[in-house]
Amino acid sequence: MDGMSGPYVIRGSVSLPEAELQWRFSRSSGPGGQHVNTSDSQVELRFDLANTESLPEVWKTRALERLASRLVDGTITVRSSEHRSQWRNRETAAVRLAALLAEATAPPPKPRKPTRIPRGINERRLREKKQRSETKRGRTGRDWG
């Protein structure tokens, strides 16, 4: 299709392969004018994640693991029907799929390295706590009037 603003970059130099995207169009529910009953403006975009050759193997494994609950036979489906124009729905669906894959293929976060609290800071904290407790103990009503 000309007029599409692809390629949709997932991350780095990897982008969604136009050849592996399957588009389906159907009538959209929701608001619209006289034209709405005849135009297929809802877009369903399918991407066969299990059999794709365009993603690095590590990414593919990671994505299959993280998106397991959304996959049907290794295929991920994204729907878009918020716009009245089919073209804008196509854009939205493709961008959403790219974002989904970018999130699913992201490397796991680095494990947190526990750090020790410096001794001076800890001692100061305890000193301040003790001082505060003395202040509060001094407020009890025993010595008053």
Per-residue pLDDT at 9: 75
DSSP designation for 72: B
Question: Does the bond joining 107 to the residue before it have cis omega, within 30 degrees of 0?
Answer: no
* Average pLDDT along the chain, 145 residues, taken 10 residues at a time: 59 74 77 62 83 81 83 83 83 87 85 92 96 90 63
d(CA 42, CA 110): 40
